[in-house]
A and B are shown apart, each in its own frame.
Chain A
């Protein structure tokens, strides 16, 4: 496992996703209401680029005709077959016990910390006054 600086905090606005490649793996970095989450860009169903799907709320209906939108912007719908996943946990809506999209640990680190290492700034230039997203892969 190693840690990788993938973006500045302010380059992914709430409700959006940035797809990065780390160790040959495509990973989507999501900003859900100023909290950050990382999911593999691969649907466990048929391998679609999952993180290019629509970001939605969770639509629930305790009974027919009784609709409730909850958890705004926390669900991801696959761009192929519309399977839905919880961005925060990778859990699928259709088979939550056994079908998951892989998640990665992601943290916000101040540039000041990163500048001291062990992270070497190669392509995302590190400025001490900014905050960065660091994922563990």
Chain B
């Protein structure tokens, strides 16, 4: 018997893995000149002739280049026209949005460099441009895609103006802040921005990546990407600790924080440790009127990718319970190399009620989506 060589057939997806909300989708440009349409002439010329001033030595490469082609892209995510993964809406629809009948995809642009730009005026201009770009290139053509408000947190006035400008526009669902900042996010100088987010109904999404210019670990610069990747956990732990211990959640009781791509299994252990210290050291932070773990439970959400794969798969269930089933939201990280497939991410079957919460209901409620 002979054989017919076919293209990859459209897959049939088990319905229990369709219709979810993806809390981490990365759009890209076909050319950075796409931002020019949304930049005033003064900054358009700046972008072309001067460009970004990053917080790291290498302005056009990451400190820890990824092993996969395209600095960390899924190898099968290049669109047919050869453009960058994540840059082609029809191909994103084919590989993600339509394939899984995704209800909503939350965009997390890691392009434009607005968040880490040292020239804060340019950073603010790029933030506005990337916000407009998200609408024009992604959200308006496919309303399942929701935008994240870009800001440069070191330019307070412009950041607040941008947040207020986007408030009420349901195409934006959150404000995105790079977690590796010049100072931990709970410091007082950031409070007015945090207050503006809460006042305007925007959760803050802390999506990993980038660099602050400080070593990425508490112990200095690592040698390998193998060390850099888990250092995202340290960054997230620092931010959770900072937000709690600085009293941010006392000051801004309706502030909601989403940790994206920083793992989550570490969160219960951090809470145990913070609670232990709070009992002993609370005199230093008397404004904390409840245990640190209580603040975390009330204010912090986590997304799943890159999901932990415990040695005993069933330990995942305990981990989810410790964090709270209502605080975990599914994410793919499409089209990056370490993305998770909704069908296989969890190595243990989840109870149906948990699955509904994690794959859709938690995000639906947090972001007020239909």
Interface of A toward B, CB cutoff 8 Å: 2-6, 18-22, 24, 26, 45-49, 52-54, 79-82, 119-124
The answer to whether B136 has its CB under 8 Å from any CB of chain A is no
Contact B75 A53 (CB under 8 A): yes
Neighbouring B residues of A122 by C-beta, 8 Å = 1-4
Q: Which residue of B lies closest to A121 (CB)?
A: B2
| Residue on B nearest A24 in the bound complex, by CB | B9
Q: Known: A5-B3, A22-B3, A122-B2. Contact between A80 and B8, CB under 8 A?
A: no
Given A46-B345, A47-B341; A4-B76 close (CB under 8 Å): no
Residue B291 lies at the interface, judged by CB distance under 8 Å to chain A: no
Residues of B within 8 Å of A53, CB to CB, are 75
Residues in A neighbouring B5, C-beta threshold 8 A: 6, 18-21, 123
Contact B2 A49 (CB under 8 A): no
Q: Given A49-B76, A52-B76, 19 other A-B contacts at CB below 8 A?
A: A4-B3, A5-B1, A5-B3, A24-B9, A46-B340, A46-B343, A46-B344, A46-B345, A48-B76, A79-B68, A79-B337, A80-B337, A81-B337, A81-B338, A119-B2, A120-B1, A123-B4, A124-B2, A124-B3
Interfacial chain B residues near A49, Cβ < 8 Å: 8, 76
What A residues does B344 contact at CB under 8 A? 45-47
A–B pairs, 22, beta carbons within 8 Å: A4-B2, A5-B1, A6-B5, A18-B5, A19-B5, A21-B6, A24-B9, A26-B8, A45-B344, A46-B341, A48-B341, A52-B75, A79-B337, A80-B337, A80-B338, A81-B337, A119-B2, A120-B1, A120-B2, A122-B3, A123-B3, A123-B4
Q: Whole-angstrom distance from the CB of A13 to the nearest CB of chain B?
A: 17
User: B339 on the interface (CB 8 Å rule)?
Assistant: yes
In the bound complex, residues from chain B placing their C-beta under 8 Å from that of A123 are 2-5
Bound complex: CA of A19 vs CA of B1, how far in Å? 18
Residue among B75, B337, B339, B341 having the largest count of chain A Cβ atoms under 10 Å:
B75
Report B331-370 CB contacts with A as 1/0, cut-off 8 Å. Answer: 0000001111101110000000000000000000000000
In the bound complex, residues from chain A placing their C-beta under 8 Å from that of B341 are 46-48
Inter-chain CA distance A80–B337, complex, in Å, is 5
**Contact at B337–A21, with CB atoms within 8 Å?**
no
Query: Which residues 1-48 in B have Cβ within 8 Å of A in the complex?
Result: 1-6, 8-9
Quick check: B9 and A21 within 8 Å, CB to CB? yes
Residues on B facing A (Cβ under 8 Å): 1-6, 8-9, 67-68, 74-76, 337-341, 343-345
The answer to whether B3 and A6 have CB atoms under 8 Å apart is yes
Q: Point out the residue from B1, B67, B68, B343 that lies within 8 Å of A47, measured CB to CB.
A: B343
Q: Which residues of A contact B339 (CB under 8 A)?
A: 80
A56 shortest CB reach to chain B, Å: 11
Interface of B is mostly: loop
* Interchain CA distance A22-B337 in the complex, whole Å: 28
Secondary structure of the A contact surface, majority rule: loop
Nearest chain B CB to A10 CB, angstrom units: 16
Q: B residues within 8 A CB of A46?
A: 340-341, 343-345
Min CB–CB distance A104 → chain B (angstroms): 12
In the bound complex, residues from chain B placing their C-beta under 8 Å from that of A5 are 1-3
- Min CB–CB distance B321 → chain A (angstroms): 24
Q: Within the assembled complex, what's the spacing in Å between the Cα atoms of A110 and B74?
A: 39
Rounded to whole angstroms, the CA-CA distance of A95 and B350 in the bound complex is 24
Bound complex: CA A22 to CA B5 (Å)? 8
Give min CB distance, B99 to chain A, whole Å. Answer: 12
**Complex alpha-carbon distance, A80 and B68, angstroms:** 8
Q: Which residues of A contact B1 (CB under 8 A)?
A: 2-5, 119-120, 122
- Provide the bound-state CA to CA distance between A81 and B4, in Å: 30
B236 to chain A, nearest CB (A): 21
Contact at A54–B2, with CB atoms within 8 Å? no
Which residues of chain A have C-beta atoms less than 8 A from B345's C-beta?
46
Please report the C-alpha to C-alpha distance between residue A18 and residue B6 in the assembled complex, in whole angstroms: 11
Shortest A6–chain B CB gap in Å is 5
**Residue among B5, B337, B341, B344 with the most chain A CB within 10 A?**
B5
Contacts of A24 in B (CB 8 A): 9
Closest 4 CB pairs of A and B: A79-B75, A122-B2, A46-B344, A21-B6
Q: Let me know if B76 and A82 touch, CB within 8 A.
A: no
Please give the distance in Å from B78's CB to the nearest CB on chain A.
10
Cα of A120 to Cα of B67 in the assembled complex, Å: 44
Q: How far is the CA of A40 from the CA of B343 in the complex (A)?
A: 19
| CB < 8 Å neighbour of B3 from A20, A48, A79 | A20
**Roughly how many angstroms separate A6 CA and B339 CA in the complex, as a whole number?**
32
